[in-house]
Homo-oligomer: A and B are copies of this chain.
Amino acid sequence: MPNFREFEPQELRFVSSFKAGELVAEVGTTLLSEGNHSAHLYTLLSGWAFRYKTLQDGRRQILNYLLPGDLIGLQGSIIGELQHSVEALSPLVLCVFQRDRLSELFRNHPGLGFDITWLAAQEERMLDDHLLSLGRRTALERAAYLIAFLYQRAASVGLAASSTLYVPITQMHVADTLGLSIVHTNKTLRKLADRSLIRWLDRSCEVLDVDGLMDLAGWDGLPERRRPLI
C-alpha cells in the first residue's frame, strides 16, 4: 500500500503488542454509541463505516465516513467520553487496541504519538470541508462534493477500480450526510445522473466523472500525501 508510511522496527513491535486482537463486524452493527464511557479504540482494517450523532427526536446527522486505516474511537480514548456513534456499512475487520496503553504509546514511541495527532488533524480537516458544504453549498453542489469526496477517499486506499466506485450506502445515508430529505436527495442525485456525472445503483454509486463533480462543487480535493497507519 504505497500511501502508508513505513514503521520503524521497534514501532512495529510495539504496535503488535498494543494490538489486543481482531474483531469482525456485520453490516449494520453499531460499534460504538454516543455517551459510552468505556469505549474501545480500533483501527479499521477493511470495510466501510460511518460516524453519526442524533438529536433527541431522532434527526440524524452523519459526520464522516471511516475507511481502512482510520482510527475509530479516538475521541473516547483521549477525552474519556464518546459523543458520537459508529455503524458498519459493510462487513468490517477491525484491529482492537488496549486503550489504557495509549499514554505508554506517547511516552515510548513519539513517532506514533505524532501519527495519531496527524490522523486527528486530518479528520479535523475533513470536518472543515463538510461544514463548508453543509453551510454554504446548494443541494446539488453538496451531493457532488460528497461523492467526489468518497471517491477520493476510496481511491486513496485502493478501493476505486479505474473511475468506478462502489460505495455501500443508501440514499438515506446520503440524505443524512447532506442534511437533506430523502426525497430531495433522490431528485438531486437524479440531476447528477442526468448530467452523466454519476450512475446510482441500488445501494451504491458509480462515479462517471470525478472532475466534473469536483468542478461543480468547487472543491479542490484531498491533498494526496503519505499517511501513517497504526
Binding site for B on A (CB under 8 A): 51, 53, 55-57, 59-61, 63, 74-75, 78-81, 83-84, 103, 106-108, 110-111, 113-114, 116-118, 120-125, 127-132, 134-137, 176-179, 218, 223, 225
Q: Which of B55, B106, B114, B120 makes the CB contact (< 8 A) with A132?
A: B55
Q: Determine if B130 and A131 form an interchain contact, defined as CB atoms under 8 angstroms apart.
A: yes
Residues of B within 8 A of A59 (CB): 136-137
Q: Which of B123, B132, B225 makes the CB contact (< 8 A) with A124?
A: B123
Residues of B within 8 A of A121 (CB): 74-75, 78-79, 120
Interface SS, A side:
helix
What are 5 contact pairs spanning A and B, CB under 8 A?
A: A78-B118, A106-B106, A107-B110, A108-B110, A123-B124
Copies of this protein in the assembly total: 2
The chain B residue sitting closest to A217, CB to CB, is B55
Q: Which of B80, B110, B124 makes the CB contact (< 8 A) with A120?
A: B124
Bound-complex Cα distance A182 to B136 (A): 13
Shortest CB distance A67–B (Å): 17
With A78-B118, A122-B79 given, is the CB distance from A132 to B61 under 8 Å? yes
Which residue, of A57, A129, A176, A178, has the highest number of chain B Cβ atoms within 10 A?
A129
Besides A83-B129, A127-B127, 16 other A-B contacts (C-beta < 8 A): A56-B218, A60-B136, A61-B136, A63-B131, A63-B132, A75-B124, A79-B125, A79-B225, A80-B225, A81-B223, A106-B106, A106-B110, A106-B113, A108-B110, A113-B117, A117-B117
